[in-house]
Amino acid sequence: MLPLLEKSMNSKAKLETWRKYMKCDPPNYGKADMEIGGDEGLAVHYALILLDIDGDGKISVEEFEKYMESAHEVIAKQADFLLNTGIIGALFLSFLYPLMFQPITVSDLSSEFFGETGVSVIFHIYYILLTLSVGFAIVNVFFAARY
């Protein structure tokens, strides 16, 4: 917690320096990004400034604790989202995986309408999309379980 509070004291000064580089004609994006720490640094400094409710340039422990409660809510919502995503991925996997091993029979009508080449192309497209869907479902379940 202490490094975050110490970093917050510097945020207003860093943003002012960043604004100075951006107001140049033409704007000096390279120096501005190096000064602030890129897009991520910009977002962090804005977030730290928003934590400072009274605007004194320092984040008090009370201000920090208030926002820690909302951070825990956001983390809980993210965990619920990952759980739901993992369940959906597992459901997709449960009905797509068996389809990979069922042989497909082509009707005579389809062969006549599309021709042998057309049926072969559709057959390959079907298996490619099915394999991709199963692969994405496996990745989805893996990442949902991992995080």
pLDDT digits (tens, 9 = 90+) for 108-138: 898 899 998 999 999 999 999 999 999 999 9
Residues 44, 4 share a domain: yes
Note whether residue 125 is domain-resident.
Answer: yes
Note whether residue 69 is domain-resident.
Answer: no
Mention every residue, 6+ apart, whose C-beta is less than 8 A from residue 82: 143, 144, 147
Query: What is the residue whose two structure tokens read 């960043």?
Result: 18
Please report which confidence band the pLDDT of residue 1 belongs to, taking 50, 70 and 90 as the band edges.
very low
Rounded to two decimals, the pTM is: 0.54
Residues 79, 46 share a domain: no
What domain count does the chain have? Answer: 2
Residue 104: which domain range? 74-147
Closest to 63 measured CA to CA, from 50, 46, 75 = 50
Note whether residue 66 is domain-resident.
Answer: no
Residues 32, 91 share a domain: no
Q: With left for phi above 0 and alpha for psi between -120 and 50, is residue 55 left, alpha or beta?
A: left
Preceding peptide of 26 cis, ω within 30°: yes
